[in-house]
Amino acid sequence: MRPKPTDYMPMAADWGRGVTRRAIRLRGSPGRVDAALEDMRHAMTCTLEHDGSVVTAVTAGFHRYTLQLCPGASEPLQALVGIPLDMPVQDLFAHGRPRQNCTHMLDLAWLAMRHAARGDAEWIYSIAIPDRVSGPMRGTLSRNGAVVQDWQVEENTIVSPAALAGQSISGGLTRWLTTESGLPDLMIEECLVLHKGFFMVGARRFAMPEGALPEGYRKAVTGVCYGYAAERIETAVGLEGMGRDFSATPEKLLTFE
């Protein structure tokens, strides 16, 4: 069993007074999707090229990230070249692929794959999850300004909406959504996007390490993604100056300032 974050990370000084925010832009054009993601710890881009059926090229841009190792995740992302654009999500994320990649970049590439079928449309997903010291936490996902998901979560369990009530956000939600839920395809996409927003709440709640990673932190995160892989984590360094607070300035998301 992995230790809890409270066992090895100090609480962030401003926890309880802000908002976890993330924005994702998906912009389609003939044979190409330009995707971008920004939140308090990450600013990334992904350009995906395709022939209408399969991925023909993928380029990752790491602009703001957690570890000095993260840009190296551009290499395993190349395994997406040649796979069908409509590969089921449970297959795309099978066989340890998320652990071999930067999970945020892989998510962005997956969304770009899905967006390829939407032509020249531009979609912007926006996540907002206000800090809560106690009681249920509310998280919303908007698409082009309209709220499409509105969750209440208490002690890592979704309380509402009714279609998701009782599901845990700390494990098994992706499998349930993609294999058991029976929910519409677009709603599954929305739920997976908002779920990752709740995952990012920890980056607001706790002070992320800068410099050499503390031993307790290394033990807790070893193997979760490319940068924290067992064969790399001993050389991993938490980068300074990568954090941003968009609590009061959501309009600055996706500007990469």
Amino acid at 138: R
Select from 223, 222, 206 the least CA-distant residue to 6.
Answer: 206
What is residue 3's predicted lDDT score, i.e. its pLDDT?
A: 57
What is residue 10's predicted lDDT score, i.e. its pLDDT?
A: 86
Coil/strand/helix, residue 125: strand
pLDDT tens readout for residues 45-68: 999 999 999 999 999 999 999 999
Residue 146 confidence class, pLDDT cut points 50, 70, 90: very high
Question: What is the Cα–Cα distance from 37 to 24, expressed in whole angstroms?
Answer: 4
Burial per residue of 91-114, b for 16 or more beta-carbon CB atoms within 10 angstroms, e otherwise: ebbeeebbebbbbbbbbbbbbbbb
What is residue 4's predicted lDDT score, i.e. its pLDDT?
A: 61
189 phi and psi, to 5 degrees? -60, -50
pLDDT tens readout for residues 98-128: 999 999 999 999 999 999 999 999 999 999 9
pLDDT tens readout for residues 209-225: 999 999 999 999 999 99
pLDDT at 2 over 60: no
Amino acid at 224: V
Measure CA of the first residue to CA of the last residue in the chain; give whole Å: 38
pLDDT at 166 over 60: yes
To which residue do tokens 């009061």 refer?
248
Select from 50, 101, 91, 29 the least CA-distant residue to 71.
Answer: 101
Coil/strand/helix, residue 252: helix
pLDDT at 9 over 90: no
Domain boundaries, the chain: 5-206+234-249
Residue 7 confidence class, pLDDT cut points 50, 70, 90: low
Select from 181, 115, 124 the least CA-distant residue to 148.
Answer: 124
- The HSE-up count of residue 164 (CA atoms within 13 Å, CB side) is 27
Question: What is the Cα–Cα distance from 64 to 8, expressed in whole angstroms?
Answer: 24
Averaged confidence pLDDT in the chain? 95
Whether 193 and 125 have beta carbons less than 8 Å apart is answered as yes
Q: What percent of the chain has pLDDT over 70?
A: 97
What is residue 40's predicted lDDT score, i.e. its pLDDT?
A: 96
What is residue 13's predicted lDDT score, i.e. its pLDDT?
A: 87
pLDDT at 73 over 90: yes
Residue 238 confidence class, pLDDT cut points 50, 70, 90: very high
Looking at residues 84-90, what average pLDDT do you find?
95
What is residue 5's predicted lDDT score, i.e. its pLDDT?
A: 61
Looking at residues 16-32, what average pLDDT do you find?
97
Looking at residues 20-44, what average pLDDT do you find?
98
Count of residues in the chain: 257
Q: What is the CA radius of gyration of the chain?
A: 18
Residue 71 confidence class, pLDDT cut points 50, 70, 90: very high
